[in-house]
Amino acid sequence: MTLELHRHEVVGLIGPNGAGKSTLVNIITGFDFPDEGRVELEGRDITRWRPDRRGRQGLARTFQHSRSFRGLSVRENIEVSALGAGLSPGAARRRADALLEQLQLTRYANAPAGVLAHGDERRLGVARALATEPSFVLMDEPAAGLPEAEVPDFAAVIRSVRDEHDAGVLLIDHNMALVMDVCDRIQVLDHGAKLAEGTPNEIRANLDVASAYLGESAVREERV
């Protein structure tokens, strides 16, 4: 399959469990290597690059499960990511302060990351990714476990990555309302192959997608 992601857009990647979504993200970010094919970043073949090298070249990600340093403060967690990307200590602190404000985490700046509520922990994951000043951010199920009442605010966070940081976002999530709301394009995987690609409205109207992913009831609703 082929997947393209450009700066200043949000692309959704959806599909049933086991379709290969997380595997694809791991290949793009260097946590797994493909048996064939290649990964390119702005024209460079990065297929065999380690994750840290990809990160220094502008590729960041969030994870399904938190990878924050629970004993460090929220600010220190962001600073660690910025320092790893090559920023000076002073620049890392300024970057952290700006992201704390943007992600509405300032009040927790000096608190241990381990005490954050789930939604704020998700925001910290985004802040750590943005601390590296990335060109592209891959988000692996960032809304998993969020109360429905918090999803609209998190949608605004995703849009801010695109609009305020001029980054491309690859979004994997099972929350279809979120995906349909924030994505410019959506690609559907089924058993490791691309089933469909299009705008949210085009994907919503695609009966093959409805059958494979949304369920037979969705197909019947579309036909009514």
pLDDT in tens, 61-116: 998 888 899 999 999 999 999 998 889 999 999 999 999 999 999 999 999 999 99
Residues 105 and 47 in one domain: no
CATH number of the domain that residue 3 is part of: 3.40.50.300
Does any domain span residue 81? Answer: yes
Does any domain span residue 63? Answer: no
Residue 224: predicted pLDDT: 40
| pTM greater than the 0.85 cutoff | yes
Residues 139 and 123 in one domain: no
Residues 5 and 19 in one domain: yes
Residues 52 and 160 in one domain: yes
Question: How far is it, in rounded angstroms, from Cα 170 to Cα 140?
Answer: 8
Q: What does the pLDDT average to over 135-160?
A: 93
The lowest-confidence range among 15-19, 54-58, 86-90, 131-135 is: 15-19
Q: State the chain's mean pLDDT as an integer.
A: 89
Question: 126: domain range?
Answer: 68-133
Residue 210: predicted pLDDT: 66
Residues 150 and 213 in one domain: yes
Residues 39 and 74 in one domain: no
Structural domains of the chain, count: 2
Residue 17 or 177, more confident: 177
